[in-house]
Amino acid sequence: MTLPTFCGKDCGGGACPMLAEVEGGRVIRTRPNPAGAPWILPCSRGLALAAEHSSGNRLLAPQVRKGPRGSGQWREAGWDEALDLVASRLSEVSARSGPDAVLALAGAGSIGALHSTSSLARRFLSLAGGYTRLGGSYSNGAARTVLPYLLGPEWKNSGFDPATMSKARMIVLWGANILEARLGSELPTRLLEAKRRGAAIVVIDPRRSQTVERAATWHIPCRPGTDTALMLALLEVLLSEGLAQREWAQARSTGFSQLAAYVLGEADGKRRGPEWAEPVTGVPAGEIRRLARAWAEASPTMLLPGYSIQRVRGGEEPYRLTLALQLATGNFGIPGGSTGSLNNRLPTPRVGTIDPLDVEGRPELPVLLWPDAILGGRSSGFPTDIKAALVAGGNWLGQGADAGKSARALDSLEFSVCLEMFPTPTAGRCDVILPVASPLEKEDIGIPWLGNWLSYKSRAVPPAGLARSDYDIYADLAARMGFGEAFTEGRGEAAWIEAFLKDSEIPDPAAFRKSGFYLAPEQERVGLADFARDPVAHPLGTPSGRVELASAPWARDTGGNPIPQWEGPAALPCEEGELLLVTPKVAARTHSQGGDPASVAASGGHFLCLHPDDASERGLGEGDLARLSNATGATRIRCRLDGSIMRGVACLPEGTWLPEDTANYEDSGSPNALTSTVDHGPARAASMHGLRVRVGRA
């Protein structure tokens, strides 16, 4: 039997249409769904879904802690005991300290119209009386903070459909490793097709990722955290050589003249050109000029900025300048071009989704600072004193900044419950673990990050052991706490899916369930195309009606510069002997899903990548054990030498699991032993790249 499915991972795809082959009540494999071909194809993580589902490491019964947190001492419990315990402890904390004392530590670990780990947790806690929620985003916190100032509400419609790549003569992937980090199920195939038809593919990245290896026609290594300087230098060439479309840009923006004056040094005599940028970025001045000239000539040019360039100190500035570059070259909002905004910002087809029942005015804290908020509370300026946490949809201990601080925060809670499929380090520091169903054990509707389509999955097999869906668990908890009817609205899971389909644009829900895929009529939408074509008739919702490259509200609200500028992040220049660390994603893992040392995804090993010359200067060779350290902490990891990585840059991928014993965190090889919760910039967003570290023999 073959049934439609999708993985639901928070990877930049997640809703990729697949087929699950079921024999004898077991899913033997997953494969691409022909209904989505040839463009919308799953990655290796989705194709490994059957192996993940049948892993012997799955949690199949509720667990109650019987020893100290982090000791690994647990006992199995029945559902009645476990749910009674969770309901009573959450109610007790809420009654004694107020509902805001409960933190919704819930992320997007699983996505779907119904089985959204974040939405379900927030719905449950909203009905329980309230909670403290997380704001911002680990993924794109700096970009999503600054873009509304430039584009107004229309920033949410500023992306593009992947099919429009077919019109681009040049595609610039700036810190966007889309063959590994995805950023859209359709982008990888569209990108490779663009290369086959002869489009120039420029990849700006300090290392040779799979995207560079397989897709790039031109690779430009740039020092981490200096993208702002490189963008300013490109603008200087465009302006000084008469290549910029100044009148076109000025008709669609405010502040273009001020930005031009800044890069040309008209006020202070300091031109921000290629010679200025070369020692900062490591990109030769000649290469900068060549790129600027090619960009101006190859119209249309599509700029796709990755999340990595804003996961640095000063991460708000690059996304102000990606828009400026597309305006300066006339590529903003045209077919085959892009606005330079976040690419996954266009409406998806209309379909119902579960309502998280969020209420305005609830206490909120930046996601980066959740451990600080737990440890500091009101006395440290946070809105609440957090006593308990509902943990779902994320391995927060391994994926959040400063792993040691995160562990101390979890250990300090009076009570915590985790809904999980595997015994992650985060689950191991909670009091109760409730085992959740795998993606193959739940019916749902998939909503993509990027693209105008939907996918569907059947419940391929019943839940293994005592595992239950998040929805089922919350419904049972809600009934115990007195608001079961409000949570379910009298519906089971199948009834919700039926209601969502009735509230959708899908003309034939039965055919959708059978094929597992719905393709909307429009497949070549261009974000803000009407505005770009006629900015007077279709103004933006900004104070000026145009793109605000100079933003007085931004300066007023944040204390930042009205126009984007380079001030030199504290990461540069490095002190003698220091390297700049990047912590990228890898194709085998979705964050820490697959980061367990026992998993198939981890079988390829976990290494620190260094340039041979940097390694030699530190007495390190291939396979040697290195020690990385900075003000936050330290970790040890084996070396792999790679002559293609930029000198002065070290690469340690994210996602590996931490040991239960915090005393051994230095042996984890986790970059989050080195990242910090010290927030930089108005967005108070995560800085996960361009970290200053010292590297030596362990």
Over residues 605-653, the pLDDT tens digits come to 789 999 999 999 999 999 999 999 999 999 999 999 999 999 999 999 9
Segment 359-384, tens digit of pLDDT: 888 999 999 999 999 999 999 999 99
Give the span between the Cα atoms of 587 and 11, in whole angstroms.
10
pLDDT at 203 over 80: yes
Phi-psi sector, 333: left (phi>0), alpha (psi -120 to 50), beta: left
663: pLDDT strictly greater than 80: no
pLDDT at 614: 97
Cα(616)–Cα(117) distance, rounded to whole angstroms? 46
Measured at the CA of 360, the angle between CA 359 and CA 364, to 5 degrees, comes to 100
Q: What is the pLDDT averaged over residues 90-105?
A: 97
Give the whole-angstrom CA distance, residue 296 versus residue 539.
26
CATH number of the domain enclosing 67 = 3.40.50.740
Please tell me whether residues 159 and 118 are part of one structural domain. Answer: no
In a domain, 335, yes or no: yes
Q: What is the mean pLDDT of the chain?
A: 95
In sequence order, which ranges of 298-387 are alpha helices (DSSP H)? 316-328, 370-376
Half-sphere exposure of 118 toward its Cβ, with a 13 Å CA cutoff? 17
CATH number of the structural domain spanning residue 263: 3.40.228.10
Does 239 lie in the same domain as 104?
no
Cβ contact 95:87 at 8 Å: no
Same domain, 118 and 217: no
570 pLDDT exceeds 60? Answer: no
Number of domains in the chain: 3
Residue 602 has pLDDT above 70, yes or no: no
Residue 122 and residue 156 share a domain: no
Task: Determine, yes or no, domain membership for 380.
Answer: yes
Query: What pLDDT, in 10s, does the model give residues 234-280?
Result: 999 999 999 999 999 999 999 999 999 999 999 899 999 999 999 99
Measured distance CA(592)–CA(603) in Å, rounded: 14
- CB environment 390-421: b (16+ within 10 A), e (fewer): bbbbbbbbbbbbbbbbbbebbeebebbbbbbb
Helices (H), 202-342: 210-215, 227-240, 246-252, 256-263, 274-281, 285-297, 316-328
User: Is the per-residue pLDDT at 11 higher than 80?
Assistant: yes
Same domain, 537 and 589: no
Q: What is the Cα–Cα distance from 287 to 578, expressed in whole angstroms?
A: 26
pLDDT at 199 over 70: yes
Mean per-residue pLDDT, 296-305:
97
* One domain, residues 124 and 192: no
- The region of weakest confidence among 83-87, 345-349, 594-598 is 594-598
Cα separation, 370 vs 389, in Å, equals: 11
16 occurs within a structural domain:
no
Closest among 313, 414, 353 to 123, alpha carbons compared = 353
pLDDT tens figures, 484-542: 999 999 999 999 999 999 999 999 999 999 999 999 999 999 999 999 999 999 999 99
In this structure, which amino acid lies at residue 464? A
Is residue 13 assigned to a domain? no
Distance set, CA 655 to CA 395, 400, 433, 635, 674 (Å): 9, 10, 21, 14, 13
pLDDT > 70? residue 600: no
Confidence class for position 597, pLDDT limits 50, 70, 90: confident
Which pLDDT belongs to residue 601?
A: 56
Residue 627 lies in a domain: yes
- Identify the band that residue 659 occupies on the pLDDT scale cut at 50, 70 and 90: confident
Residues 306 and 187 in one domain: yes
Q: Is the peptide bond before 439 cis (omega within 30 degrees of 0)?
A: no
At 664 the pLDDT is: 77
Residue 227 pLDDT grade (very low, low, confident, very high; cuts 50, 70, 90): very high
Q: What are phi and psi of 104, to 5 degrees?
A: -85, 90
- pLDDT tens digits for range 135-170: 999 999 999 999 999 999 999 999 999 999 999 999
Is the distance from CB of 415 to CB of 101 less than 8 angstroms? Answer: no
Same domain, 259 and 407: no
Q: Residue 102 forms beta bridges with which residues?
A: 388
Asked which of 551, 566, 590 is the last residue of a domain, the reply is 551
Q: What is the mean pLDDT of residues 280-301?
A: 97
- Number of Cβ within 10 Å of residue 132's Cβ equals 26
Name the nearest CA neighbour of 679 among 136, 75, 254.
136
For residue 583, tell me if it sits in a domain: yes
Please give the pLDDT value at position 603.
60
Burial class for 689, CB neighbours closer than 10 Å (0-12, 13-18, 19+): buried
Let me know whether 413 and 301 are in one domain: no
Q: How far is CA 653 from CA 281, 400, 669, in A?
A: 22, 14, 9
What per-residue confidence (pLDDT) applies to 604? 65
Look up the domain containing 307 and give its range.
150-346+525-551
* Rounded Cα distance, 566 and 607, in Å: 33
For residues 598 and 645, state if they share a domain: yes
**401 in a domain, yes or no?**
yes
Question: How far is Cα 106 from Cα 118, in angstroms, rounded to an integer?
Answer: 5
| CATH number of the domain residue 616 falls in | 2.40.40.20
3-class secondary-structure state, position 627: strand
- Split at pLDDT 50, 70, 90, the class of 591 is confident
544 domain residue, yes or no: yes
Residues 127 and 217 in one domain: no
Query: Of 214, 139, 172, whose CA–CA distance to 587 is shortest?
Result: 214
Q: Look at the alpha carbons of 50, 10, 165, 588 in this order and tell me if their dihedral is positive or negative.
A: negative
Whether residues 408 and 277 share a domain: the answer is: no
Residue 681 pLDDT more than 90? no
The whole-number average pLDDT for the span 94-117 is 96
CA 670, chain centre distance (Å): 18
What are the C-alpha distances in Å from 147 to residues 152, 450, 484, 509?
7, 18, 39, 36
Q: Which of 533, 551, 569 is the last residue of a domain?
A: 551
